[in-house]
Structure 1
């Protein structure tokens, strides 16, 4: 009942904001996983705060949140969270923000974590957003805009694949909290090895000297629209023009949840949300591993484009 009240209050706040005459922006955060996810939110320095910085979402639960004008920050999912019976301290195996409670209260995600990053009402009045695997990966995440005005590179982005089972052994994070002690997250090469080459630091601190690695290509081949390393801007940054835009942020999205009002999901350079070597389907994953990575076929592009049109009402 409490979760239903929060959802109603969130929708009312969004509605009241829209009556002010200014463009209203909001997030609708949905947990499509088979387990509880605890979203965390961090506002950038100088940005207005959101009405919550951390909470729980049970399976199939959603929460709507108004987004302050000019807001900038990041959002992620925490998993395998619990409260210590002795100390009362709240902590999570992945994505922990170090606050010791459900509210992150200014704490960021401990890597590895899949990040959804936003700058609302940025340069030229555009919204900028991306899904980043630069700090590693812990959950499939999809960001899909709805109701945006025309203009910009306004399309869904994210990583719809469950990469934890497919993660290279030297990047895999295992936990006894996971069934069978399996992988619960996948580190970035920077976190795993700490070298300037992988961290794009020192002599490798610019686009000319920091290039994709075999490890970043693992993420890019699986999730072509997500950031795979620091300078992966060309295919990973998305923009929407002003308007009463709602950004649907879904953890563990199904392949039927791809929808962006007024924009084709294939608009961003004909990039697919998934490739033909790994496919994520709700709670199930089908992994067809190949000896070498291969780019998505033109046939797959066509199939995905048709599927997006057929499934256009999935998130409405």
Structure 2
């Protein structure tokens, strides 16, 4: 864990190389740091994407990218896998595709692991498997006030996905569909007479999802253990990582981490020597 923590501190500190000197982030903005801990390149999709590089981009293994979003933004973030885009941004993906464009203007196709946000005086956020699962995804709020729990799914449902839900490519399971998506019944989709929390209960399939990912929505009315709130927070969104892995955010010339031993650190001293001694591995996009 110590080595993971050190590497994450270096990872986040590196982002400041490209931050304009003296920039102060508005208190009405939220900083989003996305990190790819997967063993392959992923292509995050975001909608609406005006504050997020147009809604889509490539993120290689070990890379991160930083954005800001205003209070009032409400949207979703997911990871696309197995993509192939040409120089004009046209192509397709094995999972999570939003049509044939690198820049997403609409939601991704199911199945996909979704992070959902509503930014307001009190933020609401969750990770949902209601539309199925494609890769692990964790949302860590940092430097906020309130409950501010870590949301997400760091278990991998692909190896244990029931055969009837599995999406395969080249003989390998690349995603796991929801029971609603496969069977399209009122019971699995929480509609009709099942369209309320009293009647629509966990099923065999949603229980398998919940066992692997206890801090994510497993079906439509899985609210009590799945939706979280926080005030004035920044977010770190990590693909293919543990919920217990320390992560950090850079805010107004200070580094904040979600460990008790790490308070805010001014951008001086050892952080500069760390930056100069490491190659730049990060793509950074900031909308201020």
The TM-score bracket by the shorter chain reads 0.7 to 0.9
Deviating above 3 A after TM superposition, structure 1's stretches of 4 or more consecutive aligned residues are 7-13, 48-51, 258-261
Q: Secondary structure at the match of 1:145?
A: strand
| TM-aligned CA deviation for residue 69 of structure 1 | 1.9
In structure 2, C-alpha distance between the alignment counterparts of 1:39 and 1:73, rounded to whole Å:
13
Q: Within 5 Å, which residues of 2 pair with 1:150-189?
A: 150-151=145-146, 153-176=147-170, 181-189=171-179
| TM-aligned CA deviation for residue 182 of structure 1 | 1.2
1:251 maps to 2:239? yes
TM-score, structure 2 as length reference: 0.76
Q: Within 5 Å, which residues of 2 pair with 1:138-287?
A: 138-148=134-144, 150-151=145-146, 153-176=147-170, 181-242=171-232, 245-254=233-242, 256-258=244-246
In structure 2, C-alpha distance between the alignment counterparts of 1:246 and 1:219, rounded to whole Å:
27
TM-score, structure 1 as length reference: 0.70
Residue in 2 that maps onto 1:108: 107
Residues 140-182 of structure 1: CA distance to partner in whole angstroms, max 9, x if unpaired? 011101111x32x211111111110111111111111xxxx21
| TM-aligned CA deviation for residue 9 of structure 1 | 9.2
Aligned length: 243
Cα pair distance change 1:145/1:309, threshold 3 Å: closer
Q: Within 5 Å, which residues of 2 pair with 1:115-154?
A: 115-121=114-120, 125-148=121-144, 150-151=145-146, 153-154=147-148
- Does the aligned pair in 1 maintain the 2:125–2:229 contact within 8 Å? yes
Q: Secondary structure at the match of 1:93?
A: coil
In structure 2, C-alpha distance between the alignment counterparts of 1:8 and 1:56, rounded to whole Å:
20
- Does the aligned pair in 2 maintain the 1:38–1:56 contact within 8 Å? yes
| TM-aligned CA deviation for residue 255 of structure 1 | 5.8
Cα pair distance change 1:17/1:189, threshold 3 Å: farther
**Greater RCO, CA 8 A, separation 6+:** 2
- Does the aligned pair in 1 maintain the 2:210–2:217 contact within 8 Å? yes
Structure 1: gaps spanning 5 or more residues: 1-6, 262-307
